[in-house]
Amino acid sequence: MDYRKIQLPREIHTGPGIIRETGAICRDLRFKGKVIVVSGTNTTKIGGEDAIESLGNHGYEVESIIIKTASMNSVLEVQDIIKNHSLILGVGGGKVIDVAKLASTRSGINFISVPTAASHDGIASPRASIKNEGSSVSLPAESPIGVIADTKIISKAPFKLLAAGFGDVISNQTAVMDWKLAHRLLNEDFSDSAAALSLMTAKMTMESAEAVKEGLIESAELVVKALISSGMAISIGGSSRPASGSEHKFSHALDMVAPKPALHGEQCGIGTIMMMYLHGGNWKTIREALKTVKAPINAKELRIDPEHIIKALTIAHRIRKERYTVLGDRGLTQEAAEALASNTGVI
């Protein structure tokens, strides 16, 4: 008999000021011994120092490290200082969390995710996006055993990060469509429960677009909870399928061809507009929701040249070839890509 393990966070703590309870939360989770806090140059001041102080107040011996890139070198750097530590905390944005998550997985140490921004669903997912030879690769990792999301801190992050997180969540819609297509055509494994959670999360987030406003703690809580839910759908599904399809392939292709790529969630949002068009769905609703939260809806707002959009569309099908999507095996021709981007107003 085949068995499959579903990893989900044991505890999720959200709310304004919750980072100051980090030490108490770790005690409640019964962690003992040394703790490593991984952070970034800016996020150390934004949240890392509060987490370290709280841990110290509860008797933990804390070691900290600042990383600058989401690269394998950074992962190895974190691993190199792990000795008899019992826990790793990643306090920062997506880069910090992904590095800490993968380092903890490779070292067999528990990990707690402490996001300072809500820009993508890596907050709670069993995946880590790591730079490798100029492009990002999504690697399997252990889900965090806990999440501590201080919504006051997240609400103070640049609003474009929250809007990008919004874009990443609503991209679940085309991701699930692609997954269903692969299930019908190739009999790929499909999880009804993972797909349902992913779609429900995307739908509720879309319907709440008007409530996503700059500087509001409630807006930060709405998006961060949606991202956590999306990450949990990935865990239930056993792959990133519930939240990653043709729109993510487009984003990864854009990372490869654009001199200065935009935020991951911003690119996925625009990818969702175009992929929904290919699926024959209501792409205009996607565009309006993104517009409502002031996320980019075209190449100009992404600050990416239209020629790079077209190029990315023509090579997107080559990204993760084993993952079948609406782009098919042959992808889009130059003419088809130009028509798609033009018809949806992306260029």
How far apart (Å, rounded) are the C-alpha atoms in residues 243 and 220?
Answer: 20
How far apart (Å, rounded) are the C-alpha atoms in residues 190 and 176?
Answer: 10
Share of the chain above pLDDT 90, in %: 89
Q: Name residue 132's beta-bridge partners.
A: 135
Tell me the pLDDT band of 1, cut-offs 50, 70 and 90. Answer: very low
Reduce the DSSP state of residue 238 to 3 states and report it: coil
User: Once rounded to an integer, what is the mean pLDDT over residues 87-93?
Assistant: 95
Reduce the DSSP state of residue 92 to 3 states and report it: strand
**pLDDT for residue 197:** 98
User: Once rounded to an integer, what is the mean pLDDT over residues 283-293?
Assistant: 98
For the four alpha carbons of 169, 141, 316 and 161, in that order, the dihedral sign comes to positive
Higher pLDDT, 139 or 218: 218
Whole-prediction pTM: 0.93
Cα angle, residue 171 at apex, residues 347 and 331 outer, rounded to 5°: 60
Name the DSSP class of 333: -
Same fold, 11-156 and 159-343: no
**pLDDT for residue 218:** 96
Q: What would the pLDDT profile of 244-254 be if each residue is shown by its tens digit?
A: 999 999 999 99
In the chain, where are the structural domains located?
Answer: 11-156, 159-343
Domain 11-156 CATH (choose: 3.40.50.1970, 3.40.50.300, 3.40.1440.60, 3.40.50.720) = 3.40.50.1970
Domain 159-343 CATH (choose: 1.20.1090.10, 3.40.630.10, 3.90.226.10, 3.30.950.10) = 1.20.1090.10
Name the DSSP class of 136: E
Cα angle, residue 180 at apex, residues 319 and 143 outer, rounded to 5°: 65
Which residues does 280 contact at the CB level (< 8 Å), separation at least 6?
none
Burial 242-264 (b: 16+ CB within 10 A, else e): bbbbbbbbbbbbbbbbbeebbbb
Residue with tokens 């729109």: 247
